[in-house]
Structure 1
C-alpha cells in the first residue's frame, strides 16, 4: 500500500490517553500524530473534573502525606470484588507513580495534591485514605496556546467545569472563600482548570515537541499486513488518507456512550443520557474487530459508574435538544424517592443511589426503585440551585414539576402521595437530630464535601418545608466510563479472542477493559488509566 503520511505512532483520540501516548513517544525522539474525530482537542478527559487517582505518589510524599501501597491495594481489592487481575492491579500502582513523575518532572506539567479530599469510601473500607491520593493540574493560562487556545475543548456545561479546581471547592466547603471568587479570577485570565486545564497543558507540551494534530477526522479502518497493524485509514476534511504507523496504533477513542446498542448490550440499560461528546460511539470496538478482538466486560453493569441525572429540555448541547445533566445528590432540603414515595438509598452518596436505582427484584420481576425522582423545596433552590440554574434562579422550562403541596406534587409526578408525605415527615424529623436512622445519610466524608453544607448539624440534611415543592425525574447518565473495553496486557497491547497479542495495536483509558480495577470505582481512576496506558503503550512501541 502507498501511504499519504508516515509516523512512528498513530493515536486515535485526543483525550488523556492519546495525548499522553504522543507526548511519551516524542519525548523519546519519535514522531506522533493525534487524530481526533471531534472538531476540538481534549476528548472526554477535557470535560471531566481532571482528577487523577494514582494511589501513593511523589506529590503526596513531597506534601508530607504518608501513604502505603499495601493499603491502597487493599482498597482496590475490596472495591473490585474479585474482578481485578492481580498483575494488572500491581502494575497500575507502579506505572501510575512512574507516569505521574514523568509528566511533572520530564514533560513539565505542573500538578498538585488535592488536600483534604478523601477516597470515596473513607473511612469504612480497609485501605482507604483521608487525603493524598487525588492529583489535579494547576490552572493553566490558555494564552500560552496562542491560536490553539480555541482548538482545545472546554465544557459547554458552564464555567464551573472549566474554571474552578477541586482544591478550591474543598477549601470553600471547609469554610474558605466561596468558589465564585477564584472562578471569576480564572475566567478573567482564561486560566483553565480541571480536565480542560490538563488538556490545554498537554496540547501545549505536545505542540512544543512537534506532535501533529488532525481534528474533525475519523479513523475508519486499521490496516493490517501479515497479522500486524501497520497503519490506519482516515476520513476528514482532506478526504480519505492512508497513514502509516511504523511502531503502532494507539486506540484512545473513549467509551461508547452514544452507541445505543453497545450501551444496551454491555451496560444493561435500555436508555441513557450522556454528558460525553457525541463522537464517543465505540469506534475502538469496530476498528479492533478486524483484528479478531472482542470487547471484554470487566465487571457487572451495576458496578459501572453510571450516574443519575436529569434532562434539561430547553438546553441545547452539541446541537442536541434536551441536554442531560449530572446530579450530585445530597443537597440539604432534598431527598430521592421511588414511585412509592419512599427513600431507598443513602441519597447523599451517588454510588449508593446509582447502584440501588438499578436493583432488579426477583419477587416482583421489576425495577423496584426505577423510575426515581429528586424531591426538594424552595429552600434548596434558593440556597443551592440546580444546574443550569444558579442559586435563587428559577428552573428552566420543562425541567421540574412544581406544586404548592407535597400531595399535589405527588399526584402530578405519579408518585404515591401518602408514601411521599410519610417519607418527608420522617426525614424532617430526623433532620432535627442530624441522624439518618434509615440510610446513614451524611456519614460519608466524600459526600459531605461534594454536596453538603458544613454549617448544618448533618451537612447533607435539612428539612423540606418551604413551598413550592419540586420533583425532577431522574435518568441514568453516562460520563464516558464504560462496562466493557478492549482486553490489554500490562504494556497496553491489545489481546485478541484467541488470547494472543495483536502486534502493533494498543489501547488506553476507557477504550481498554478495566481488568486492573475490576468492579469498583473511585473518581480519578478513568483519567489515571488514560495517562497510564497511553504512557505504557508508547514505551512499548518505541522500545
Structure 2
C-alpha cells in the first residue's frame, strides 16, 4: 500500500525515529492506550488527529475501511461511560485446554460499541499483558488496569477524560513536540509506522509493537451525558478488550 512517490520496499524507508507504539487520535481512547503502554515501559509516540474512513490518504482510508466495513456505518456516538463487573479467572497455558467458542456476532457488537465511543481504540497489535476476567454475564474479557478512580460528579465521561489527560501528563506523554497523523505506513501489508505532521515537516516514525487509533472527534464539554446511576464506591479504570478483537475501550471496573 504505497503511493507512487513512496518507496515500495521496506528497506528503502528512511525512518526518522523508531518507537514501540504510536497512539493517535483526538479521543481519550488513544490517551488510555498510551498510558497503558507507558506503564509497560514501552516508548510511546503521541499524535493528534480526527480520523475516519474518509481520510485523504488512500492507504490509511482502505485500512480503516477494512477494519470497520462490517459495522454499522451510521452508528451514533455513544458518550456514556461503560461499567463492567468482573472477577479474575485462571487461564490455562495447556494447549490441550478447552478453548472458548468464537462468537462472531458478539465481537461485531463489541467492535461497533468501541467504534461509537470516544473511549474506544482500534489497534493492529497490542502487548500481550492483559488480565483475563469473567463478567457477571459469563463473558471472558481481557483487562489492563490504569488506576483507581471514583467519579465525583454525575458527568463521569468528561471527568474521566480529564483524569486520563492528567495521567498522561504525569507520564510526560503530552510534553512531546506537537504532531498530527498524516498517514499510516505499510510494509508487506501490515502497519509498520506512520508519517506525522510537525512544525519542522513530515516525520517518519516506525512502531515496533503497534499503532493504536482513537477514531472520531473529542466531544464538546456540553455534549457529555449525565449518568446518575453509577455504582457506589471506588472503581478501577481499565482498558477492556476481547480475544480475537482489534478493538478496545475504557470502562469502569467494579468487582462482581
TM-score (norm 1): 0.25
Normalized per residue, the structure richer in strand is 2
Largest Rg, 1 or 2: 1
Q: Which has the higher contact order (CA 8 A, sep 6+)?
A: 2
Normalized per residue, the structure richer in helix is 1
